[in-house]
Structure 1
Amino acid sequence: MTEGNFVDYVKIYVASGKGGKGSSHLHREKFIEKGGPDGGDGGRGGHVILRGNKNLWTLFHLKFLRHVKAGHGGDGGSSRSTGADGEDKFIEVPLGTVIKDKETGEILFEITEHDETKILAKGGKGGLGNWHFRSATNQTPRYAQPGITGEEVDVILELKVLADVGLVGFPNAGKSTLLSVLTSAKPKIADYPFTTLKPNLGIVAYRDFQSFVVADIPGIIEGAAEGKGLGHYFLRHIERNSTLLFLVPADADDIKKEYEILLDELRRYNTEMLDKDRLIVISKCDMLDDELQKEMQQQLDKDFKGIEYMFISSIAQQGLTELKDKLWKMLNA
């Protein structure tokens, strides 16, 4: 999937169908000149319905869709025949899609399960035919109800990636490289900031045919919570992850400070982020000799009291099995 094909934010105008008119028909046939009312009801207007699809990973198929309109209900007929219901319109969305009202920003609902359906705009009710209005004092009513108009709403669809583990780190921390060696994912990797412009998902194969999903989130910079860099483009994807893996390279000027900046950006975006399980991973440890790594461990023991950390090297394939074991244990605690 190319960068341009990953779409996680679209705006759509949706309109449900109008209900059909009730009929004011009076029964007529041979030898019956003045039959009673027999007008049928109008059909229901079509709904606009969202449906979850586990085979979709992006909102790209909706990128150029601006308007969605359901069909109108058919009018009632004679002999109390009801009009046809309007055609429902289904919009397929990936799991993890959040639907918001464009005007108010209010979250209407979320789609998190395959084949889960939610009515986005309800079709108008069909009008009642004159048969319903007959009475002892008015045996031939010549009026019927019009159909009720459908609903119109402007909505925003936002995708929040569903993954077990989210990789959090500054640009060039080695997140894409780690994802590529842990999983069969093939993210774009290069030695410059913001190589990753979209979340990459990879499935980690674990023991006994078990697995979990890791998401490589585009790199955070200081001020991201205010929209700097890629801003909210990627921060919302971290909200879905149950475990956060903070990746800090061993050659960072100040590992503790880098971790605290990352943590502060998450806190400023959403304080609930701090409730998630965290693991600090020092990457590129192949650059360290044994003596230097021991010195660094002594310092990290002081800096990260009560917070677990570990050393790995994606290039040298060091510590990866231990990392998988640790993540699996945290996910299933």
Structure 2
Amino acid sequence: MVRGTCLLFRKYGNFVDNLRIFTKGGSGGMGYPRLGGEGGKGGDVWVVAEKRMTLKQLKDKYPHKRFMAGGGANSRIFFFHRVSALKGSPGKDCEIPVPVGISVTDEHGKIIGELNNEKDKVLVAKGGLGGKLLTNFLPLKGQKQIIHLDLKLIADVGLVGFPNAGKSSLLSRVSHAKPVIADYVFTTLKPELGKIMYHDFKQISVADLPGLIEGAHLNKGMGHKFLKHIERTKQLLFVVDISGFRLSPQTEYRTAFQTIMLLIKELELYDEELQTKPALLAVNKMDVPGARDKFQELMHQLQNPEDFRHLFDKNIIPQKSLKFQHIIPVSASTGEGIEELKNCVRESLDEQADQENSASHKKQLLNLRLSNTISYGEPPSNHAMNTS
């Protein structure tokens, strides 16, 4: 049993998760044809991950969103006993500080690089060569490039649920923090990050993300703003209201079981790879009247999903079923099941880590065996044959 846990809570204000910026490498310096002097190379532009940086800070500090490296110096001539043609000094590099979890793409959507750890860096605009014999001693201009900085939060666990499923309330209960939570849909319009701190100093990061709606894969509602953030989570924690979900009086009411199937379908339509992530299910609001009976019914439906396909239109039935590692009934209002939820989250992540370590160890052994097979299978050299 894991005890003595708490959670540190952080909420972003005026959240910015993407920026479009202009970058330009520095121009090279002039060469000196008479004495073969070379101009300095222009500086490069790099995107560098920093732990405490946010895209909002970057936007506020550089409102013009233009980043240019320094130009290379011209070839210089010094007179000291004899004439010397020296190579010009290179231009100063430009570094763009961004938060960890940034994906850098060009204007056509091609990925230039991803920055998943502090101090990771990626080159986005090269500096021009300095003037030399190869360029007829004329300098070259630096590369120009418009890039997109796209933040995808990195967390151990991503909360997945439709609006008013109680995700923010659940995170609040786990953390003992008291964020203001309004009683209407789309309460969470920006990501909220928290860290579960265990008694043995183990930390698990949790991302509460903007609520999905039906059609999110088509970018409806918060759509892709939500879905892109769960790409980098290790596991998914589905949160559903035991009483079901209804977005508005104009939309259809969905039971808890239908809600789960719709969530799975939205993930499938956006990116099938998301269905390969380990998943847990928290069935929230178990304090409401009749919740126990509804929970028993839900468990029966989840164990026999094929018997209830008639409840869905064909186009909203997931192609693949998703097996939850743990299903935990909870109440964010009363605290019921919260400790069990914390324990299950940690247990699931520990199992995943063990499996990844085991797979990595097997791969190393396989590579070692292949290496030995190739080594032992090599024919003897000519020298060895001649001396026998």
How would you bin the TM-score normalised by the shorter chain?
A: 0.7 to 0.9
Distance in 2, matches of 1:202 and 1:57, equals 16
Give the superposition deviation at 1:267: 0.9
Alpha-carbon spacing, 1:279–1:158, altered in 2? closer, same or farther (3 Å): same
Corresponding position: 1:176 with 2:168: yes
Residue 187 of structure 1: how far off its partner (Å): 4.2
**In structure 1, distance between residues paired with 2:176 and 2:67:** 37
Query: Which of 26, 50, 55 in structure 2 is aligned with 1:53?
Result: 50
Hey, what does 1:160 align to over in structure 2? 152
- Which residue is equivalent to 1:299? 297
Assess, with a 3 A threshold, how the Cα gap between structure 1 residues 172 and 149 changes in structure 2: closer, same or farther: same
Q: Check if 1:228 corresponds to 2:233.
A: no
Which residue of 2 is the match for residue 8 of structure 1? 17
Distance 2:206 2:37 in 1: 57
> Counterparts of 1:269 and 1:287 in 2: how far apart (Å)?
33
Q: 1:126 aligns with which of 127, 130, 142?
A: 130
Amino acid at match of 2:88: G
Q: Give the Å deviation of 1:148.
A: 1.9
Taking only aligned residues, the RMSD between alpha carbons, in angstroms, comes to: 2.0
Summarize the alignment of residues 107-126 of structure 1 with structure 2, pairs less than 5 Å apart: 107-126=111-130
Amino acid at match of 1:88: D
Deviations 1:283-333 (A, max 9, x none): 1111146xx51x334322322225331111112111111101100011111
Letter in 1 for 2:276: D
Does the residue aligned with 1:80 lie in a helix, a strand or coil? strand
Question: In 1, distance between residues paired with 2:195 and 2:15?
Answer: 18
CA–CA distance in 2 between the matches of 1:288 and 1:56? 46
CA contact (8 A) 2:112 2:122 kept: no
TM-score (norm 2): 0.74
Q: Distance in 2 between matches of 1:234 and 1:47?
A: 33
Contact 1:59 1:159 in 2 (8 A): no
**Paired residue type of 2:341:** L
Whether the 8 Å contact between 2:193 and 2:205 is mirrored in structure 1 is: yes
Corresponding position of 1:196: 188
What percentage of residue pairs aligned between the two structures are identical? 39
Is contact 1:19–1:123 with CA below 8 Å preserved after alignment?
yes
Task: Please report how far the alpha carbon of residue 152 of structure 1 lies from its aligned counterpart in structure 2 after TM superposition.
Answer: 0.7
Question: Matched residue of 1:287: which SS?
Answer: coil
Q: Does 1:256 align with 2:248?
A: no
Give the 3 Å change call, closer, same or farther, for CA 332–209 of structure 1 in structure 2: same
Partner of residue 379, structure 2: none
Q: Partners in 2 of 1:239 and 1:186 — Cα distance?
A: 28
Residue of structure 2 in register with 1:34 after alignment: none
Q: In structure 1, which of residues 299, 310, 313 is the aligned counterpart of residue 328 of structure 2?
A: 310
Residue 319 (str. 1) matches residue 329 (str. 2): no
Matches of 2:284 and 2:139, distance apart in 1: 65
Deviation of the 1:160 alpha carbon: 0.1
Q: Unpaired runs of 5+ in structure 1?
A: 26-36, 134-142
SS in structure 2 of the partner of residue 118 of structure 1: strand
SS at match of 1:262: helix
The answer on whether the counterparts of 1:222 and 1:265 sit within 8 Å (CA) in structure 2 is yes
Conserved in 1, the CA contact under 8 Å of 2:12 and 2:192? no
Distance 2:189 2:280 in 1: 24
> Which residue in 1 is equivalent to 2:91?
86
Alpha-carbon deviations, 1:225-247, whole Å to 9, x = none?
10111111121001111111111
In 1: Cα distance, 2:177 partner to 2:105 partner: 31
**Alignment of 1:74 onto 2:73:** yes
2:228 and 2:339 mapped to 1: Cα distance?
29
- Alpha-carbon displacement from aligned partner over 1:127-183 (angstroms, at most 9, x marks no partner): 226xxx9xxxxxxxxx95111221111111100001111111111111111111222
SS of equivalent residue, structure 2 residue 193: strand
Q: Give me the whole-angstrom Cα distance separating, in 2, the residues matched to 1:187 and 1:257.
A: 29
**1:249-284, CA deviations, whole angstroms, 9 ceiling, x for partnerless residues?**
122151110011111111111111100111111111
Taking structure 1 as reference, are residues 49 and 187 closer, same or farther at Cα in structure 2, changes over 3 Å only? farther
TM-score, length-scaled by structure 1: 0.86
Residue 212 of structure 1 is aligned with which of 184, 204, 209? 204
Amino acid at match of 2:150: E
* Structure 1 residue 186 displacement after superposition: 5.3
1:277 counterpart = 2:278: yes
Check whether the contact 2:242–2:295 (CA below 8 A) recurs between aligned residues. no
SS in structure 1 at match of 2:200: helix
> Residue 21 of structure 1 contacts residue 144 of structure 1 at CA under 8 Å; is this kept in 2?
no
In structure 1, the residue matched to 2:347 is 329
Could you list the structure 1 runs, at least 4 aligned residues long, displaced by more than 6 angstroms after superposition: none
Q: 1:99: which partner in 2?
A: 104
Structure having the higher helix fraction is 2
One-letter amino acid matched to 1:17: G
